[in-house]
A = this chain, B = another copy of it.
Amino acid sequence: MTSEPAKDGLPMTDHTTKAFDVDLRELTRMIEEMGRLVERQIADSLDALASRDSELGQRAIALDPSIDALQHEIEEKAVLTIARRQPMAIDLREIVGALRIANDLERVGDLAKNIGKRVLPLSEDLHPANLMVGVERMGELVLGRIRQVLDSYANRKLELALAVWNGDEEVDSMCTSLFRELLTYMMEDARNITYCIHLMFCAKNIERMGDHATNIAETVYYIMEGRAITEQRPKGDTTSFAAMVAEKR
């Protein structure tokens, strides 16, 4: 981590720098822990769906409060770190990035919980397993994207973040064709309607998880490059954090 001029043009003392590094490492560790919980929650809810195991679905739902609590802890830790250490621009980006990623992970957790809630009604309804296959495949694809983007954050892999960012269309087109398939099935026989609606909501939840993987990829890019992924501006920190440092100097 950097340790350059901070507040009022005075350099951060070694003491402050080290303390900041410790805070930042702890924040990164918390994000990684949150990421692991969310990955498990997605995997559990998808497995529960595939095996019509409503108990496993309940376990996925039960993970949600821990994930929400971690988000609040990360938020408090981030804010306290800023207040105590007054980091400079690049380090502020690290902290804002942590806040954004925690926020996206919390939303992904909510979506996984929503899938967990549909396992019970789906498991009571006996329908051909092949319809579920499309949802499962979509789920695996998105879980893979979540894993990749968390890897890109933990190990600062810009290329991997870009790959995730560029790969969202596959999920969206998978979702569209799945919806079409489910719709046909509903038209054929009214007894399929309830079942297919549940699957549609599951597919929509998975599609949105994919959107959050894209958001996280954008945040990793922002942390590493100091600008939005969509901008074609020349390199350099163009956020107002840079302005703050300039002002302070």
Contacts from A to B (Cβ < 8 Å): 75-76, 79-80, 82-84, 86-87, 92, 95-96, 99-100, 103, 107, 183, 186-187, 190, 193-194, 197, 200-201, 204, 239-241, 244
A76 partner residues in chain B, CB cutoff 8 A: 96, 239-241
Query: Does B87 lie within 8 Å of A83, measured CB to CB?
Result: yes
Query: Does B99 lie within 8 Å of A99, measured CB to CB?
Result: yes
Copies of this chain present in the complex amount to: 2
Query: Does A75 lie within 8 Å of B92, measured CB to CB?
Result: no
Most buried by B among A82, A87, A103, A204: A82
Q: Which residue of B lies closest to A95 (CB)?
A: B79
Query: Does B197 lie within 8 Å of A190, measured CB to CB?
Result: no
In angstroms, Cα B86 to Cα A117, docked, is: 43
A103 partner residues in chain B, CB cutoff 8 A: 103
Given the known inter-chain contacts A87-B83, A99-B99, A103-B103, please indicate yes or no for A193 contacting B186, CB distance below 8 A. Answer: yes
